[in-house]
Amino acid sequence: MKVFHCEQCQHLVFFENSQCINCGSTLAYVPEGGRMASLRRGLRLCENYEKHDVCNWGVAADDGNPLCRSCRLTRVIPDLSVPTRVNAWRRLEAAKRRLIVALLGLQLPIVDRTQDPKGGLAFDFKADPDDPDEPSVMTGHADGVITINLAETDDAERERRRQKMREPYRTLVGHMRHESGHYFWNRLIQGTSTLEEFRRVFGDEQRDYEDALAAHYAGGPPDDWSSRFVSAYASAHPWEDWAETWAHYLHMMDTLETAVDSGLQLRPWRSDDPALTRLAPDITLGQVPFERLLDRWFPLTYILNTT
């Protein structure tokens, strides 16, 4: 994520802020241009801020849609008559906004279901039913709809699931990244000239998906998974290999963006230790060759993992 400053007084502000603590200006994030703007003529806050305080994005004053570009993607919200679900929804929307910023930065097509009822992207945020005999909500992707179970917003419950699934980490934005990978596989790979290249790198996705997952959960990943896959789960099926790789790429890009925009550099005492030179803040990471990104990723993860 980038570093932001108040448009009025230039005081440091953060991505989730809706007010500058220095000058008191009301702020809104404007995805067009990626900036935190003070509310002036021509800009208003998303309706989900005005009614529920769950969003801080701006909408053009002449836009007929009261919702911002991110909130328009949410198709189902939880029952807000249950008080705890308002905060759960707030956390989900915050994670989704971080995903949307990353996707916009990579110039990926983001179309909601109003614009494209069949191929548009949508999010359903659902709670498990009160009746224990009814099936639980499954977090996942199907036909352009990303569903997230509200239980994932509870830190203790998410940690319990992380341990049960033997995952190194489990986060809300991680869910968003992974499931968006499935969506963009449909948009960018399926039925295109790149499908054969995908199969060469990730394997044949025509392999039975349900059988592959069942085998993975029953027997675990292959012993050498760490030398061939970005995660243990990626070894389950080519679709999951793609989604896990996609999610890790977005994680890498977001972290590098923070490092670049903060002016981070590493100047070790020893010349043979990992070093990181500072990049210009206006660089577009999506246009940097992947090999160069990896060269910067290694020293950054070195210092983060050493702490």
pLDDT digits (tens, 9 = 90+) for 58-78: 999 889 999 999 999 999 999
Buried/exposed code over 20-35 (b: 16+ C-beta within 10 A; e: otherwise)? beeeebbbbbbbeeee
Q: What is the pTM of this model?
A: 0.91
Q: What does the pLDDT read at residue 140?
A: 95
Would you call 266 helix, strand, or coil by DSSP?
Answer: strand
In the chain, where are the structural domains located? Answer: 1-66, 260-306
Element spanning 64, H or E? none
Q: Are 55 and 71 in contact (CB under 8 A)?
A: yes
Q: What does the pLDDT read at residue 281?
A: 72
Q: What does the pLDDT read at residue 41?
A: 73
> Which residues in the chain show pLDDT less than 70?
none
Q: What does the pLDDT read at residue 276?
A: 87
Q: What does the pLDDT read at residue 130?
A: 85
Q: What does the pLDDT read at residue 289?
A: 87
Q: What does the pLDDT read at residue 246?
A: 97
